[in-house]
A and B are shown apart, each in its own frame.
Chain A
Amino acid sequence: MGRRVRGSVVLVGVAALWLGACATATTPAPVPAPAAAPGKPPPRPAAYQSEDFIVTFAQPGDTPETLAERYLGGADKAWMVEDYTGLRAFATGQEIVIPRRPWNPAGVTPGGYQIVPILTYHNLAEQAKGRLVLAAATFREQMRYLKANGYRVVSLAEFVEFTGLNRQLPQRAVVLTFDDGYRAFKDHAYPVLKELGFTATLFIYTDWVGAGRAALSWAELRELAAAGMDIQAHSKTHGDLRRAQGETEAQYARRMQAELEQPQELFKRHLGRRSPVLAYPYGRWEEGLLPKVKGYGYVAAFSVRRQGNASFVRPLAAHRSQIYSEMTLDDFVKNLNVFQEENLR
């Protein structure tokens, strides 16, 4: 459209203000910005604000990011604009309601509740090999899919706050985790994550750290932590943490001391902090294990049951979904369900 006719577009836009206001009341209709013509009613302010909400009008080129920057103090809050309006793009002048603070930390609505998928990867390589070595290209494709489809990768720490009713997460929140501590993470996963601005958690079992060419060393883990990756514990030996048949109470207690406490000591020595989160080796756990896990200072722990997590999941029995090398993109997408429908009215 040429420059010559744009003036009338603006004016028709003004007319549309009133047309928009006439739409039936159940969906907010777009409202364009006021024309600052002389002799007209006093212009509307750029935004109305209360302690809960900001009501404003999109300026040309506005995105959830620019609005979050302007009104919420940072583009990282763009998800609040996006989730509340249900929109990722705006018409100039459109009325936009922005919540100033969390409005649904539990993620529960009359139609169901939010669930957060936590994806689990193991090793990566140029070529896939077996179920647990994913081709680097497949991983890249999956991460780009997340980005392109509006998923928001959040940190495991944020997820843990969500399970305490202490943080609202974006509706399309996803957590990424990598088990064991393979060096391939650094070569194949980290560059992709960095490019896309994603974070991830590495669950390492401490006997494996520095144990050969395929394993990350403590120095490398420190570098990754400094670069924004999160490191958590995956036991000492990667042994099944459930009580074995015939194991006496004393033997079991000693074994758990090694599996659960030794990683904590190594974390303190090498990373300067303890590990508040645990991934159960093989994803296996039982009720009797939970008090021990808690006793050694873990506040959250994960199985590999293939389902997402509601805010009210028991944090020591949360779920992760393993991503296998043979999965197609469609299979992968099936692990990304972020809402559990249930009629709660």
Chain B
Amino acid sequence: MMAAGRGWLAAAALGLALGGCAVLTSTTPSEPEAGPAPGPAPVARDPLAARHRQQAEALQRDGQLRRAAEEWKIALAIAPADAQAREALRALQGRIDQAVAEHLDEGRKALARGVHVEARRRFLAALALDPFNRAAFDALQGDTREVEFITHTVRAGDTLSALAQRYYGDRSRSEVIWETNHLPPRPRLVAGTTLKIPEIPGVPFVHPEARRPAPVLAAIPTPDVPRPGPTPGPAAPATPPTKEEFTSEINPLLVEAREALERSDYRDAIETVDKFLSGKPGDQEGLTLKKQALYGQAKSQIGARQYGESIQSLNQLARLQPDYEDAPALLRQARTRVIEQHYTQGVRYYREEKLRQAIAEWRVVLEMDPGNANARRNIDQAEKLLRGLEQRMKK
């Protein structure tokens, strides 16, 4: 585009380049000006490949094995002679193969037990790790039935075996409900939460309401139903469905909020549950729902790359329960992403010569992450350039 006729700026740029960054200096040859090496130049390759290696390691730590394998391959595309990367990829591939084999095995066992929901989840997990896996694909497509669910809202007194009796006419099917909902051993069912009651191929639903849309209104507890027991074992006698079963006990606002949550409309769910909570502060069911909604909202915001918003949701959630599921990890992840976004935006501005804006972005990085040496160094460099430019302008 243009010859490099502005010596001072070129020098400044080079200075910045040699300033490098802390992360990379360990992998960058200490003498970048070394004479031309035979074959591909390590100087040009290393920082580039190093970034992919680091990314691979980070993904691997985060359990994202397939993406990690891709990053190793990308690093190797840049630096094919990197024996360490090659070994890391080989080891990772072994781990992936093993995990896939486990999922396949568990999936087949679940099929044999007739638990299609679990089988489906296992085969899908295998495909998520290896999207070329023919065995998982064929099992999913050919052997695994699309399963219809009923959504059951737990009411006081529900036990898994009572639910199995009620929906399948067979209390020994409680295992299927337990497994489908990934419940802990000996679960205590909480009134107001929802359970998926899957159709079992070959076992027709016996509950007359089973074919209707999810019964969202729970029943008035009948006196002959025991309190929720700690064991899913045989406990509750079957309660024949009565008319009152579908009369309302739960506050309609709560029902509305739960419905909003089920269709992933988190904002609506939160607004509605807040309305409910303003009338019944501290209500456990309301709070549980609110936490679910905030968590769901945060996850969907992260999915949509709205990291700033997700931080707000997660902070709200942390005020209710700091250790909710993996919320702390999500918060860290979102913060890292926001920092990255500001950092990258700074780089973008810098490249567009908008030095002041670039500095502002990096200052935000420093506010969020005061130890960020790269941002600090970039600011110093940008300020130096700015002063130089100003002096030039004066002349």
* Interface positions of A (Cβ within 8 A of B): 5-32, 34-35, 37, 41-45, 48-50, 52-55, 60, 91, 95, 97, 103-111, 113, 163, 165, 311-314, 341-342, 344-345
CA distance A113 to B43 in the complex (A): 40
Q: Which of B132, B336, B344, B381 contacts A29 (CB 8 A)?
A: B344
Contacts of B78 in A (CB 8 A): 48, 55
Known interface pairs A11-B6, A15-B12, A53-B77. Does A28 touch B51 (Cβ–Cβ under 8 Å)? yes
Task: Name the CB-closest residue of A to B12.
Answer: A15
CB within 8 Å of A: which B301-344 residues: 303, 336-337, 339-340, 343-344
A19 touches B347 (CB 8 A): yes
CA distance A67 to B319 in the complex (A): 48
Contacts of B353 in A (CB 8 A): 5, 8-9, 12
- Against A, the Cβ 8 Å flags (1 = close, 0 = not) of B1-19 are 1111110011011101101
Q: Smallest distance from the beta carbon of B373 to chain A beta carbons, Å?
A: 9
CA distance A34 to B12 in the complex (A): 16
Contacts of B344 in A (CB 8 A): 20, 23, 27, 29-30
Tell me if B131 counts as interface (CB < 8 A to partner A): yes
Task: Name the CB-closest residue of B to A25.
Answer: B54
- Against A, the Cβ 8 Å flags (1 = close, 0 = not) of B288-303 are 0000000000001001
B1 touches A26 (CB 8 A): no
CA distance A23 to B52 in the complex (A): 12
Q: Smallest distance from the beta carbon of A80 to chain B beta carbons, Å?
A: 13
Tell me if B121 counts as interface (CB < 8 A to partner A): yes
Tell me if B206 counts as interface (CB < 8 A to partner A): no
Contacts of A48 in B (CB 8 A): 45, 77-78
Contacts of A13 in B (CB 8 A): 351
Q: Smallest distance from the beta carbon of B189 to chain A beta carbons, Å?
A: 22
CA distance A344 to B128 in the complex (A): 7
Interface size on B, residues (CB 8 A): 78
CA distance A113 to B129 in the complex (A): 12
B131 touches A105 (CB 8 A): yes
B51 touches A105 (CB 8 A): no
Q: Smallest distance from the beta carbon of B22 to chain A beta carbons, Å?
A: 8
CA distance A214 to B17 in the complex (A): 70
Other A-B pairs beyond A17-B17, A49-B77, 7, CB < 8 Å: A11-B4, A13-B351, A15-B12, A16-B350, A26-B340, A48-B78, A341-B303
Contacts of A312 in B (CB 8 A): 127, 137, 140-141
CA distance A236 to B19 in the complex (A): 75
Known interface pairs A9-B351, A55-B74. Does A105 touch B132 (Cβ–Cβ under 8 Å)? yes
Known interface pairs A12-B351, A22-B23. Does A42 touch B36 (Cβ–Cβ under 8 Å)? yes
Tell me if B48 counts as interface (CB < 8 A to partner A): yes
Residue pairs across A and B with CB atoms within 8 Å: the count is 194
Contacts of A19 in B (CB 8 A): 16, 346-347, 350, 374, 378
Tell me which of A26, A103, A109, A312 has the highest count of chain B C-beta atoms within 10 A of its own C-beta.
Answer: A312
Q: Which of B41, B134, B300, B303 contacts A41 (CB 8 A)?
A: B41
B6 touches A8 (CB 8 A): yes
Known interface pairs A15-B350, A344-B128. Does A45 touch B40 (Cβ–Cβ under 8 Å)? yes
Tell me if B248 counts as interface (CB < 8 A to partner A): no
CB within 8 Å of A: which B342-378 residues: 343-344, 346-348, 350-353, 374, 378
Contacts of B140 in A (CB 8 A): 312
CA distance A235 to B14 in the complex (A): 71
- Against A, the Cβ 8 Å flags (1 = close, 0 = not) of B209-251 are 0000000000000000000000000000000000000000000
Tell me if B147 counts as interface (CB < 8 A to partner A): no
Give the interface SS of chain B, mostly helix, strand, loop or mixed. Answer: helix
What 8 pairs between A and B have smallest CB-CB spacing? A22-B21, A50-B77, A25-B54, A15-B13, A108-B127, A44-B44, A106-B131, A22-B374
B1 touches A20 (CB 8 A): no
Contacts of A113 in B (CB 8 A): 124, 127
Q: Which of B12, B19, B303 contacts A18 (CB 8 A)?
A: B19
Tell me which of B13, B52, B54 has the highest count of chain A C-beta atoms within 10 A of its own C-beta.
Answer: B13
A14 touches B51 (CB 8 A): no
CA distance A17 to B350 in the complex (A): 11
A7 touches B5 (CB 8 A): yes
B340 touches A24 (CB 8 A): yes
Contacts of A32 in B (CB 8 A): 351
Task: Name the CB-closest residue of B to A20.
Answer: B347
Q: Smallest distance from the beta carbon of B109 to chain A beta carbons, Å?
A: 18
Q: Smallest distance from the beta carbon of A327 to chain B beta carbons, Å?
A: 19
A55 touches B77 (CB 8 A): yes
Tell me if B63 counts as interface (CB < 8 A to partner A): yes
Q: Which of A10, A27, A29, A41 contacts B33 (CB 8 A)?
A: A41
A53 touches B21 (CB 8 A): no
CA distance A103 to B195 in the complex (A): 36
CA distance A17 to B16 in the complex (A): 10
Tell me if B73 counts as interface (CB < 8 A to partner A): yes
Contacts of B44 in A (CB 8 A): 34, 41-44
A25 touches B141 (CB 8 A): no
Contacts of B270 in A (CB 8 A): none
Task: Name the CB-closest residue of A to B133.
Answer: A106
B58 touches A35 (CB 8 A): no
CA distance A341 to B128 in the complex (A): 12
A16 touches B347 (CB 8 A): yes
Q: Smallest distance from the beta carbon of B265 to chain A beta carbons, Å?
A: 13
- Against A, the Cβ 8 Å flags (1 = close, 0 = not) of B70-84 are 100110111010000
CA distance A54 to B74 in the complex (A): 8
A41 touches B43 (CB 8 A): yes
Tell me if B125 counts as interface (CB < 8 A to partner A): yes
Task: Name the CB-closest residue of B to A84.
Answer: B70
Tell me if B47 counts as interface (CB < 8 A to partner A): yes
B124 touches A342 (CB 8 A): yes
Contacts of A23 in B (CB 8 A): 340, 343-344, 347, 374
Q: Smallest distance from the beta carbon of B358 to chain A beta carbons, Å?
A: 9
B21 touches A108 (CB 8 A): no
A165 touches B347 (CB 8 A): no
B351 touches A91 (CB 8 A): yes
Tell me which of A24, A113, A163 has the highest count of chain B C-beta atoms within 10 A of its own C-beta.
Answer: A24
Contacts of A50 in B (CB 8 A): 73, 76-77, 80
CA distance A110 to B348 in the complex (A): 31
Tell me if B55 counts as interface (CB < 8 A to partner A): yes
